[in-house]
Every structure is written in structure tokens, then in C-alpha cells.
Amino acid sequence: MDIASLRAQHPDHWKKACAIRTLTLDAVAAANSGHSGMPMGMADVATVLYEKHLNFDASQPDWPNRDRFILSAGHGSMLIYSLLHLTGDAEFPIEQLKNFRQWGGKTAGHPENFLAKAIETTTGPLGQGIAMAVGFAIAEESLRARWGAKIIDHHTYVIAGDGCLMEGVSQEAIGLAGRHELSRLIVMWDNNGITIDGKVSLSDRTDQIARFAASGWDTFECDGHDPADIDRALTEAKASAKPAFIACKTHIALGSSAQDTSKGHGALTDAKLIADTKAAYGWDYPAFEIPQDVQSAWKAIGSRGAETRKEWEARFAALSDSKKQLFQRQFACEAPAKLAAVIRAMKKQAVETAPKVATRRASEMVLEVVNPVMTETLGGSADLTGSNNTKTADLGVFDPINRKGRYVYYGIREHGMAAAMNGIALHGGLRPYGGTFMCFTDYARPAMRLSALMHAPVVYVMTHDSIGLGEDGPTHQPVEHLAISRATPNTMVFRPADLVETAEAWEIALSSKATPSVMALSRQNLMPVRKTHTSKNLSAQGAYVLEDATAKRQVILIATGSEVEIAVKAREALEAEGIGTRVVSMPCMELFAQQDEAYRRKVLPAGPVRIGIEAAVRLGGWDRWLLGERGREGKEAFIGMTGFGASAPAERLYAEFGITVEATVAKAKALLG
Ligand SMILES: Cc1ncc(C[n+]2csc(CCOP(=O)(O)OP(=O)(O)O)c2C)c(N)n1
Ligand SMILES: [Mg+2]
């Protein structure tokens, strides 16, 4: 349909949609940067979605049973900012749009979930939004089963572009959603045939409809500019018993001279182009000005869900006090009081029984006691359940017949799993954790980075955390992965040494409201290193004195995880020779860095020589504790990896790569001179 007939046939709709288009043009012009074409092309779809389908209340954008809207094509951020402004979201007055992409604003270049209540997820890295949406839909199914449809019953809508569908992670997401029959998930594809380099056909000829259908989705098509057709497609999609995909045929940068070209993708800032486009729209108002009738129409859309929200509140109020408290605690991401108690009991028992177990097994032992008292956990693994030790007895499996199951078989989809876990965490009400091999952090990395940026407290259970995994060889042996995880802001990287530290790490991770955790866990059995019970969570300080020097302190050995055992044995040998040696266990560098200077100095006093021991590359943050913080050049050493590992039994590898008690003792003596 051309613009003239659209205007003539749907004049009210046309004006509402043009409000989005012109706000986009004005904001992008003001910022002199941004992406105009996508909001201009998808304005009709978004208008129909907000007007007729999306269950939301602009006055309370974060009520728990709202429909979730995810703009996977995050570069089109002006679409969501326009919608929020027009519907009357208090966080988006017109000044925010005038300050698009400026310091301190809520209208960042790409939508950021931590800047505004109504923005469900950060998007911008293409493909992440659609993959997170699968997590939102899993969360909705799981919570609806637990709480009943009176409390949780909503859809998750996604707008995805060609880019989102080309990114590999979308395939992982589509497969997962299809298998789990996530019928409340509706993806609207901005089928404009254009990306930055030109036509989609330059690089792709995928039949998207066939692709989604092949993974178990219902598929629909519509003219993405005809409101009646869009409404029909959305209505049909909602009725589907499968996840639904709607191919919306659109024109990028509709109505401008850049329409249907890659020029339309980016910032349309040319004054004449903007004036001509507005003329074509029949829009005769100054920049950022919306006529009163259009404003009122949009405000009515913004408040149309208020009744529904109030009805929900009444239903919620009718729940028993204990149920209400549970719901509120879980949605506030607060750990139950019982968590500390079960962790303490586990630690005490660990010291008494001193089991020699791998920390991946220790992690399972912890989850066995945590999962029953923390029913909001939703575990999973990317096809390594038996290796990651992520599934405990009581969980049950999440699938279309058992939505109450608390374990997700994510399949061999590390990236999709991580993104889905982000969605689950951001939905609220559940705490996702999921496992793979530490080495495949790489496969999950883009979503792990987003967990950190978005303040999503996801727990990554990364087992087989070093050459200690042995025979599988260097493809599977992480050496640089601790470094990249530690380099990521707002991420806690735990490398516990035994069952006690593993329990402490889980307690911290599951008490965190806004920081993801990476659990680096060993495949191989480890000697318990915590010999006495203390109810205090020592790992919460990041590092602590595990064993102190008896003679005059000359050496400090700092180690993490599986290498703490080496440090303890090296200390024994050095002490036997009269060389006073302290062992510092450092399960979490980030938390140690957060301690005050007095504590850090107490643990790492200046003077003694220092040796760091970790079966990974030194780049993983070691210089700060060895050279810095009053360490001294020439009086420090690092025992770890300098290259890739190899395939052999673990003990042989440790010997060959020189990560041994003997090497530590020799190094200490050499440094002492
Ligand atoms: C992972 C990732 N790679 C690259 C980019 C840069 N980028 C932003 S938009 C875009 C093109 C997207 O095409 P499409 O989804 O069709 O958007 P449209 O041009 O139709 O608005 C690219 C390559 C990105 N944001 N994320
Ligand atoms: Mg496109």
C-alpha cells in the first residue's frame, strides 16, 4: 500500500504512527546521529501493537504481569523512546527525546534496561534481544505454572530485524523456543530487505518463514504498514499454540528519499530530506511538536491497561500473606533467610567430613541443599548436565508437559543459554544458573557481557576450569578465560578451592541482586583446604589468610581454586626448612579489590616475596597482587600457564607445565636469594 492510500484509509492510525516517525527524525537530527529508518519503517507495527495488543500501563511500567516488549533491533531505539514518550511514561518527557544520545539521559544510543523501568532489556548487539526474549517466555511459562494464570499470564513481544535473524544466536533461540512450545512468544520481523551494506540479498537468501516453521513455530505474514493487516496477524499469532513469527513486510525509512535503501538505515539529518519527508506524511508541525489530538490518542493507549493492572493487583492482594511475601521476595531478587543457614550447615559438615571432591561436585552438593530452600532457582546446562553437575534430584525437567520443572536442557547452545538466562533473570521472579565448560565461556561471551552490563545476577557454572581437565586437551582447557571474565566490569569470578569455598561462593552469587557470577570449577578432585569451621563467609572478602607463617614471614603464596592445594603443600615444605610462609586463598579477586585498604594490606603485607599460583595466564589480574599493592618487582613470581595446554592425564600436565609444589618451593627460595 502506498502512503497516499494509507493516509486516506487509516487517517487516525496514520497520524499516531507519524508521531513516532517525526519524533525519530527530530531526535536523530538533534543528536546528529542515530538510526532513523527502522523506527520509520516499523512505526505502524508498533502502533498497532501498543494500541491493540500490548498489555501495559504507562503509569506503572514495571507491574509484574505486564506484557514484555523487547526491541531486539536496538539500533532503532527511537522507536521505543517515542512510544514511551507518547504513551505518557513519566521517565520520558519530551526533553529526554530532545537529548537523544546525550550524557546522563535515559535516551541512550541503544536502549538500556538499567536506565528506565519500561525498558525490559538492553539491546543493540544484534540477536541478543530475540534470544533473551526466549528466556522471558520460559520465565513466564514457569511462573504461570507456579503461581497460576491469575497472577502470571502474559506475552513477550519482540521486534527483530534482518540483522537479529542473521546472527547465529538467533538460531539457538529459535530452536529452544520451538522445542519448548513457548506460545506466548511473538516475534515481529522487520522484513525490509535492507541492512547497512545494502540489500539483504548481498549476503543471505534464507527463507525465514521456512526456517522458523522448521523449528516448530507458527508463521504469519502481513503488510507491515497496513494497520488492519497487522492487527489480523497479531490476533492470529496470539491464538497460536506455538511460538509465533510474523514477517512484517516494511519499507525502511518510509516516505523519505532514502526509503528502501541502506542510506535509510542510519542518521537522516539532512534538513531538506526531513522537510520533504514530513510533507509527504502531511505533517505540518514544528520539530518535537505533536498535535493535541494525536497526543490524547496516544495517552489513552498508555492508560488503557490501568484497569487490567488494578484487577491484577486485587487478585494479588487476595493471595495469602505468605504467598505474597514469597512473590515479592522472589521478584525483588532477595535470597531467603534460610540460604545462610543451609550454607552454614553445609560448611560445618564439610569441615567435619573433609570430602576430597572436585569443586564441580562440591557445587552440586551445595545445590542439593540450596534448591529446596530457594525454589526460584532455574537450573540448566548446555548439554553437559552430567559434567557440570547442575541438576539436583528435586528439580524436575522444564518442558511443555511439566512447566513446573526447574531444570532446562538448553541443548548445545551456550550462547542461547546465556542469553535466555539473561531474559529469565530480567523477567523477575526466578534465578537462573546454567553450566558449560569454562573454555566455552567464549561461546556464551556476548550474553555474559550483557549480564554484567544489565545488572542481571545470572550464575554461570563453568566447570573443567583448567588443564586439570586432562585428556580432552587444549581445545577444552581454558587458559585465558579467567582473564576475560575478570576483565569484565560488574562480574564476580569465583574460583573456589574446596567444598567450603564453593558453598561460600554460591551463597554470595545467590545473594547478589545486580551482579552475575562465574563459577570456575574443577573437574579433578581436590584436597579440602579449610580445616576449621567458621560461620563467617570468608570468600566474601575475596581473599583471606588460609594458613599463616609460623616462623618469620618471608613468603606469601597466593592461589586460587585447584592450585590452593599446591600452595598449602609448598608452605609445609618451606616451613619445614624454617622459611615462614603464608598462604592466601583468593577465590574472588573482584571482591578482594572491593575491601578497604587496611584489610588488603593485612592479607598482603609488604615485605615478603610473593608468588601467585593459578593454572591460567598471568594476565588474569595477577599483576595487581604481585607487582602492585606494595609488591616489588623482582620479588614476585607467577606460576601458571604461558600458552595452550595439551592432551594428557592432569597430573602429567601439571608436572610438564611446572605448576607443582617443587616448582613453587624452588621459586620461593630463588626469590629469597
Ligand atoms: C552483533 C552486532 N553486529 C553488528 C552490529 C552493527 N549493526 C547495527 S545495525 C546493523 C544492520 C542491521 O540490519 P537490520 O537488522 O536489517 O536493520 P535495518 O537496517 O533494517 O534497520 C549492523 C550491522 C550490531 N549492532 N551488533
Ligand atoms: Mg533490515
551: CATH: 3.40.50.920
* Percent of the chain residues past pLDDT 70, beyond the cut: 100
Atom 16 of ligand 1 has which residue's CA nearest to it?
162
Distance of CA 319 to CAs 326, 461, 514, Å?
11, 35, 28
**Are residues 122 and 240 both part of a single domain?**
yes
Distance of CA 535 to the CA centre of its chain: 31
Mean pLDDT of 69-89: 98
pLDDT range class, residue 597, cuts 50, 70, 90: very high
pLDDT at 474 exceeding the cut of 80: yes
Q: Is residue 653 part of a domain?
A: yes
Task: Give the number of whichever ligand sits closest to the CA of residue 73.
Answer: 1
d(CA 160, ligand 2 centre) in Å:
9
**Are residues 299 and 365 both part of a single domain?**
no
The answer to whether 645 and 658 are in contact (CB under 8 A) is no
Residue where a domain stops, chosen among 257, 278, 310: 310
The answer to whether 77 and 108 are in contact (CB under 8 A) is yes
**Are residues 464 and 515 both part of a single domain?**
yes
Q: Is residue 315 part of a domain?
A: no
Is 36's C-beta closer than 6 angstroms to any atom of ligand 1?
no
Q: Is residue 319 part of a domain?
A: no
Grid cell 592432569 is found at: 650
**Are residues 431 and 481 both part of a single domain?**
yes
* Percent of the chain residues past pLDDT 90, beyond the cut: 99
Q: Which atom of ligand 1 is nearest to the CA of 166?
A: 15
Reduced to 3 states, what is the DSSP secondary structure of residue 401? coil
Catalytic residues: 414
Start-to-end CA distance of the chain, whole Å, equals 84
**Are residues 510 and 586 both part of a single domain?**
no
Domain interval for residue 129: 3-310
> Sign of torsion, CA 314 320 322 323?
negative
- pLDDT per position as a tens digit, 389-398: 999 998 999 9
- pLDDT per position as a tens digit, 631-641: 899 999 999 99
Q: Is residue 306 part of a domain?
A: yes
**Are residues 152 and 246 both part of a single domain?**
yes
Distance CA 439, CA 665 (A): 30
Residue where a domain stops, chosen among 249, 276, 310: 310
d(CA 1, ligand 2 centre) in Å:
19
User: Of the residues 250, 259, 260, 265, which should be mutated to test ligand 1's pocket, given the most ligand atoms within 8 Å of the CB?
Assistant: 265
**Are residues 509 and 651 both part of a single domain?**
no
Q: Is residue 466 part of a domain?
A: yes
Residue 2: the pLDDT is: 84
Residue where a domain stops, chosen among 520, 549, 581: 520
Grid cell 595477577 is found at: 622
**Are residues 58 and 167 both part of a single domain?**
yes
The model's pTM is 0.98
Mean pLDDT of 533-562: 98
Q: Is residue 123 part of a domain?
A: yes
The answer to whether 251 and 11 are in contact (CB under 8 A) is no
**Are residues 212 and 272 both part of a single domain?**
yes
Residue 393: the pLDDT is: 94
Q: How many domains does the chain have?
A: 3
- pLDDT per position as a tens digit, 174-200: 999 999 999 999 999 999 999 999 999
Distance of CA 148 to CAs 139, 140, 153, 240, 242, Å?
13, 11, 8, 20, 20
The CATH number of whichever domain residue 419 belongs to comes to 3.40.50.970
d(CA 539, ligand 1 centre) in Å:
42
**Are residues 410 and 547 both part of a single domain?**
no
Residue 22: the pLDDT is: 98
Q: Is residue 370 part of a domain?
A: yes
pLDDT range class, residue 1, cuts 50, 70, 90: low
DSSP state letter for 156? E
Q: Is residue 435 part of a domain?
A: yes
**Are residues 593 and 456 both part of a single domain?**
no
Mean pLDDT of 83-102: 98
Distance of CA 574 to CAs 52, 317, 550, 557, Å?
75, 65, 11, 11
- pLDDT per position as a tens digit, 75-84: 999 999 999 9
**Are residues 339 and 411 both part of a single domain?**
yes
- pLDDT per position as a tens digit, 131-167: 999 999 999 999 999 999 999 999 999 999 999 999 9
Is 194's C-beta closer than 6 angstroms to any atom of ligand 1?
yes
C-alpha cell at 242: 506455538
Is 195's C-beta closer than 6 angstroms to any atom of ligand 1?
yes
C-alpha cell at 490: 560488574
Task: Give the number of whichever ligand sits closest to the CA of residue 168.
Answer: 1
